Amino acid sequence: MTAKPFLKWAGGKTQLIDEIKNNLPENLNNRPFTFIEPFVGSGAVFFWMMDKFPNIEKAVINDINTDLTDCYISIKKDLEDLINILSKYKTEYHAIFNDKEKSKEYYYEKRSLFNTRKSTRTVQSALFIFLNKTCFNGLYRVNSKNQYNVPIGRSKSLPNICNEENLRAVSEILQRTIILNGDYTNTLEYADANTLFYFDPPYKPLSETSSFNSYAKDVFDDAQQIRLKEFCEKLNDLGHQWILSNSDMKNINPDDNFFDDLYEQFNIFRVNARRSINSKGNKRGNLTELLITNLF
């Protein structure tokens, strides 16, 4: 089985993979190379790359979200225990799924347990995955105290809390992957002469109410976007190849040149992408997003 993202994630890149594929270096299949994804999220691009390019000699994923990277580590190192715990949650939750009050009570008990952050890494990871599968729209959001605060979802069908087959496929991929938890700039030390970076940072929000970049307690604001661009410049100067995705501010203001000015020395492509996570169904639809790269 081909490994796929084990989480639903705001800003997941499944819908952009074809566009990313079209902008990869032409000779990527011809030589061993290192692939680094400094903002891995749910890993849609990472898993696709690992499947399509068996010549990846070294893979490195990173995220500042410790809850998330602990999940990857648990799947890599403690798979059987994780599957056992998730299977238990699945059985218990499915048994009360049609009882609105009992399922609600179960969800909030698990959310409270998760927020104590006193469980083992594997239990925390199982709780993380359970909440992701049963919460509203698969959203991960924390407040300033790093407390997960997403309400229960309204799924009409039984959530797939424990996809054992995919978890095993993911674990197999992770056995040959370096997993980091920290600032994205730390990934540079793992780069070598043939390295491709893919950046999927927290997107610059199109409006004050559309921000999904608070999945870590520290906000990724304009100053952070500028810092990331400076890091991309550094990679370019060092001869590393990179592709970056971000929101297209021209969707709401045709005169907004924030990214066009910021990355003016690089290639900027506007590509179609469907925003699938929004609290209002009529706000979900086709928008353009940016793919920016130093590849020519």
Query: Residue 281: pLDDT above 50?
Result: no
Check residue 37 and give its pLDDT: 98
Overall average pLDDT of the 212-224 stretch: 69
Query: Residue 167: pLDDT above 50?
Result: yes
Q: 152 near 103, Cβ under 8 Å? A: yes
Check residue 144 and give its pLDDT: 84
Query: Residue 158: pLDDT above 90?
Result: yes
What Å distances lie between residue 212 and 141, 201, 221, 267, CA to CA?
A: 8, 11, 12, 26
Average pLDDT over the chain reads: 91
Q: pLDDT > 90: what percent of the chain?
A: 77
What dihedral angle (degrees, nearest 10) is formed by the CA atoms of 22, 23, 24, 26? 80
What dihedral angle (degrees, nearest 10) is formed by the CA atoms of 83, 42, 54, 26? 170
Of the two residues 220 and 264, the one the predictor is more confident about is 264
Query: Residue 217: pLDDT above 70?
Result: no
Overall average pLDDT of the 286-293 stretch: 91
Query: Residue 27: pLDDT above 80?
Result: yes
Check residue 121 and give its pLDDT: 98
Name residue 270's beta-bridge partners: 290
Check residue 213 and give its pLDDT: 42
Choose the weakest-confidence range: 7-16, 66-75, 89-98, 109-118: 7-16
Q: pLDDT > 70: what percent of the chain?
A: 92
Position 276 confidence tier, pLDDT thresholds 50, 70, 90: very low
Q: Which of 278, 179, 191, 275 is nearest to 231 (CA)?
A: 191
Check residue 12 and give its pLDDT: 64
Q: pTM of the prediction?
A: 0.91
Q: Which residues contact 38 (CB under 8 A, 6 or more apart)?
A: 62, 184, 185, 187, 197, 199
Check residue 205 and give its pLDDT: 87
